[in-house]
């Protein structure tokens, strides 16, 4: 029998190589600033950040599955718990809590207790429409899509906009059945 899936990502995080969070934070800040200069429109920047996150998500899921010892989740509830407790911990060193489930268990919220992306950040008046951490929505969407779940991820609360927490809403649109026969690797 395979070993049980971990309930938290602590052990994984303790055993992987890590870097200073400030290098990560400041590099992310440099990216956002470049996008703002290039695109000159916060909506476009939101879109580009989400796209970058998506690109990361479809690659990150491989590493996640390889190192976390997590296998197929039985339902979306378990998926959300795994993202919050294992995924966030493993990559960002923080955990999230899962709340606000809807009646049919397809929509929930991930509330970030700590967010390493936003240290040293304050949104100027000209950037009020910016979802500074929008890369995270893309990462989750991309990662879940790779494991056959189409989702929609959006921000509900954002401390940079004056809210009291960071809250991401994750909505399961559909489970894509796995294609058979599987494509051969060429």
Q: Which residues bind another protein (CB under 8 A)?
A: 13, 16-24, 26-31, 33-35, 38, 48, 52, 55-56, 59-60, 63, 90-93, 116, 119-122, 135, 162
In the complex, the smallest distance separating the C-beta of residue 81 from another protein, rounded to whole angstroms, is 20
Smallest gap from residue 171 Cβ to another protein (A): 24
Asked whether 137 and 163 are in contact (CB, 8 A), the reply is no
Q: Which is nearer to another protein, 122 or 186 (CB)?
A: 122
Question: How many angstroms separate the CA atoms of 180 and 169, rounded?
Answer: 31
- CA angle at residue 67 from 136 to 51, to 5 degrees? 25
Nearer to another protein by Cβ, of 19 and 103: the residue is 19
CA–CA dist 162, 26 (Å, integer): 21
Residue 164 vs 178, nearer CB to another protein:
164
Smallest gap, in angstroms, from Cβ of residue 183 to another protein? 25
| Closer residue to another protein (CB): 95 or 172 | 95
Q: How far apart are CA 13 and CA 20, in angstroms?
A: 13
Distance of alpha carbon 166 from the chain centroid: 12
- Residue of 26, 139, 48 whose CA lies nearest to 91: 139
Q: Min. distance of Cβ 34 from another protein in angstroms?
A: 6
């Amino acid at each position: 029998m395979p070993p049980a899936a971990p309930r938290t990502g602590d052990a994984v995080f303790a055993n992987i190589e890590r870097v200073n969070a400030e290098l990560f934070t400041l590099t992310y800040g440099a990216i956002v600033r470049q996008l703002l200069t290039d695109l000159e429109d916060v909506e476009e920047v939101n879109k580009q950040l989400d796209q970058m996150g998506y690109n990361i998500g479809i690659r990150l899921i491989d590493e996640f599955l390889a190192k976390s010892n997590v296998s197929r989740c039985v339902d979306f509830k378990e998926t959300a718990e795994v993202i919050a407790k294992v995924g966030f911990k493993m990559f960002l060193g923080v955990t999230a809590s899962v709340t606000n489930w809807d009646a049919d268990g397809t929509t929930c919220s991930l509330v970030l207790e700590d967010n390493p992306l936003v240290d040293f950040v304050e949104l100027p008046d000209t950037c009020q429409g910016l979802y500074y951490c929008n890369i995270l929505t893309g990462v989750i969407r991309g990662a879940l899509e790779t494991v056959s779940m189409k989702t929609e991820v959006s921000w509900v609360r954002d401390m940079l906009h004056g809210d009291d927490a960071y809250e991401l809403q994750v909505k399961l649109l559909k489970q894509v059945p796995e294609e058979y026969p599987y494509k051969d690797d060429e």
